[in-house]
Structure 1
Amino acid sequence: MKHTIKLSRRLTNVASFLSPGSLFADIGSDHAYLPCYICLQDNEARAIAGEINEGPYLSACKTVESYQLTNVVDVRLGDGLEVLNKNEVTEIVIAGMGGSLIKSILDDGRDKLLNVKRIIVQPNIEEQNVRSWLLSNGFKLTNEIILEENNHIYEIIVGDKADEINSSKSTLEEKQLFFGPLLMSNPNPVFYKKWRSEHSKRAATLEQIKKANTLHKEKIRQFEMELDWIEEVLQNEKKYY
């Protein structure tokens, strides 16, 4: 029997936000490494590994069997939160997808979230879409981290179910959703590295948009506003480093 499993730094950080003894779902689990990692360390934890494609589903089944965890990690084939029954889990992980796709998965599976106390997401792009969804659906942002691994920069966002008293609509500005309010308040070198790169990409894209035969005024306005935001944030780098 194998006793250990090595996760990437990205997934290790995702795993660190799961509560001890949690009953959680890992949606888009791929090889089910994350559920196996958790359940090998935590005898009280139970996991559901959801996968939409048959190939990764079969790979996940093999991983769970190889670690002899079939009694604690249930691998299921299905689309998003469809693999869950109502009130079946208290925490959900969705990592390694675009922010719009994560938002759609949460939207489509809203009826499966009534008992969910924590949602941990790692969107590859469009992080603001996920933040906006969490805040609009009764969750508060309790943790955000940004890290670099193998020349890729990742953001991990944690949303906890808000108390009824504090569940009124968030007053966060669009700019805070764009950068992440917690990342903005505690930036690190990776944060600045990301936004230097994003500034270059957006500036180049804006030039291409302006050269197009049909001018998209709203898109131009959005890009110009985001570039102003990024420049303002990058000016603060000197204060920290």
Structure 2
Amino acid sequence: MNEIKLSKRLKAVADYVDNGARLADIGSDHAYLPTYLMQKAVINFAVAGEVVKGPFEIAKNHVSEAYLSDRIQVRLANGLGAIENTDKIDTIVIAGMGGILISEILEAGKEKLSHVKRLILQPNNHEESLRQWLVNHQFVIKNEEILLEAGKFYEIIVAEPLSKLMTEPSAKPSVSLSADSMASASRIELSLNDLTFGPFLSKEKSIIFQQKWQKELNTLNKIIARLPEEQVEKRQEVLNQIARIEEVLR
């Protein structure tokens, strides 16, 4: 099988997987991510979990064609049910789903997270709900990235359990992060703005971040222009959203 070529989105996700990781890719689809990481000799072992029979069969075929069936286990299972204790998984990727669904998957399988060192999550929406779940379950956001691919904005959230960070005081933060970003993201409690815009993303304010929120601002301005004056509560809600976005873009 030829070397896997990942989409820009999945390549960005792959870049957060540490060398020597034992990976679970939940909702793996065609198992492209674990196959790519194994071909690059980044990971030692992987589970590719898929809940739908069709993609599960395709993933199995792809892994077999790459002669990696001994090192990538493709399993038909719901969420973290694909992970077994003997797998000794330390890194979990869940990418390409809604933030609420990712939160539900983590919640339903949270007993599988006790030995996990890193979560690499790529929600397609409702990022604030996912960040809130992480905060509620003692995960610290260590890094974030926003990218644009095929006209869609994608956010990547990298989180690690607070317990791991407490036992590794010498662990070095990413050198690209400012002191303010680290101070913001290393707290368990996040402000409403941090939950919505991301503790790292809102500090870095990249061009793509600005494009995403300017687009959202344009949408909200169109909504407020159409809302009748008598819908006082709804208008105030939208105006509050507009004010928050304008503030973060300043």
Query: What's the CA shift string for 1:152-180, capped at 9, x where partnerless?
Result: 11110000111378699723111111000
One-letter amino acid of the counterpart of residue 114, structure 1: S
Once the two structures are superposed, the pairs formed by residues 1-241 of structure 1 within 5 Å of their partners are: 2-42=1-41, 44-86=43-85, 88-163=88-163, 170-206=188-224, 210-211=227-228, 217=233, 220-234=235-249, 236=250
Structure 1 regions of 5+ residues with no counterpart? 237-241
How far residue 79 of structure 1 moved from its aligned partner, in angstroms, is 1.0
- Which residue is 2:174 aligned to? none
Q: Within 1, Cα distance between the matches of 2:33 and 2:232?
A: 43
Any conservation in 2 of the 1:38–1:45 contact (CA below 8 Å)?
no
One-letter amino acid of the counterpart of residue 193, structure 1: Q
How far residue 212 of structure 1 moved from its aligned partner, in angstroms, is 11
Query: What's the CA shift string for 1:151-209, capped at 9, x where partnerless?
Result: 1111100001113786997231111110001011111110000001111223334556x
Q: TM-score, normalised by structure 1?
A: 0.88
Q: Within 1, Cα distance between the matches of 2:194 and 2:96?
A: 22
Structure 2 regions of 5+ residues with no counterpart? 168-185
Question: Percent of aligned positions with the same letter in both sequences?
Answer: 39
Any conservation in 2 of the 1:3–1:40 contact (CA below 8 Å)?
no
Any conservation in 2 of the 1:86–1:111 contact (CA below 8 Å)?
no
Any conservation in 2 of the 1:136–1:169 contact (CA below 8 Å)?
no
For 1:42, what is the secondary structure of its paired residue?
coil
CA RMSD in angstroms comes to 2.4
One-letter amino acid of the counterpart of residue 199, structure 1: L
Q: TM-score, normalised by structure 2?
A: 0.85
Q: Within 1, Cα distance between the matches of 2:149 and 2:57?
A: 27
One-letter amino acid of the counterpart of residue 116, structure 1: V
